Amino acid sequence: DGGITQSPKYLFRKEGQNVTLSCEQNLNHDAMYWYRQDPGQGLRLIYYSQIVNDFQKGDIAEGYSVSREKKESFPLTVTSAQKNPTAFYLCASSLLAGGAYEQYFGPGTRLTVT
Amino acid sequence: SQQGEEDPQALSIQEGENATMNCSYKTSINNLQWYRQNSGRGLVHLILIRSNEREKHSGRLRVTLDTSKKSSSLLITASRAADTASYFCATDPPESSYGKLTFGQGTILTVHP
């Protein structure tokens, strides 16, 4: 059963704490992405990775960090430096990097920071 | 600002009617994709259309692309209540980094049974 999994579905944290969101894929895709979605908004790219051990900042990388040590895993850490971390976070992957490839999305993690 | 902007922001129709959503963008593109998102879920890819294509079909979906007007439309024919979702266009400008799609804010479609 191939796809992308994100865990947990809901996450609650206190302000000032770092939190790591998990993203795993078994599609053998090279490229992976993290997006943030706010209510009534489209998706904004946080980080993306074209290949293992490589990643690039997206449009809103400040306050976030990622790693890509394994092809199938691309965890996102929301640090205490992120001023407004409460949002819906979506992970995606594609066979290769490039707009000609469709992206497959996970079910998302809804993070609430109070 | 967002590369792709959908219009209308919200659309409410009866089951059986057709639904048309539009996407406009500002710069040239290599590809344009349409995605669907059910409430609180991840996005699902619907169709990809390349800049040298004018129209593509997939089941009840028809996508057109007019590069001279920098616009695309998604038509859902004979809509069903299960089509209720948000629909996003995503563009891939030539100058963007690898795989960097830019998403619009979406059209919320409600299909009443």
Residue B1 above 80 pLDDT?
no
Indicate yes or no: CB of A100 within 8 angstroms of CB of B92: yes
Q: What is the mean pLDDT of residues B11-32?
A: 94
Looking at beta carbons, which pairs linking B44-50 to residues 24 or more positions away fall under 8 Å? B44/A105, B45/A102, B45/A103, B45/A104, B46/B74, B46/B87, B47/B74, B48/A100, B48/A102, B50/A100
Which residues does chain B have within 8 Å of residue A88's beta carbon, measured at their own beta carbons? 40
In chain A, which residues touch B (CB < 8 A)? Answer: 4, 31, 33, 35, 40-45, 48, 50, 56, 58, 88, 90, 92, 94, 96-108, 110
Could you tell me how many CB contacts below 8 A there are between chain A and chain B? 76
Tell me the mean pLDDT in the region A84-90. 96
A16-36 pLDDT, tens digit per residue, is 999 999 999 999 999 999 999
Is the pLDDT at B90 greater than 50? The verdict is yes
Which pLDDT does position A40 carry in this prediction?
A: 80
pLDDT recorded at residue B2 = 46
Nearest to B100 among A42, A45, A100 (CB): A45
With 90 as the cut, is the pLDDT of residue B97 above it? no
The per-residue pLDDT of chain B, averaged, comes to: 92
Of A41, A99, A104, the CB nearest to B99: A99
- Chain segment A25-75, per-residue pLDDT in tens: 999 999 999 999 998 888 999 999 999 999 999 999 999 999 999 999 999
Peptide bond into A8 cis (omega under 30): yes
User: What percentage of chain B exceeds 70 in pLDDT?
Assistant: 93
Q: Do A98 and B92 touch (CB under 8 A)?
A: yes
- A101 CB neighbours in chain B (<8 A) are 99
> Is the pLDDT confidence value at B99 over 80?
no
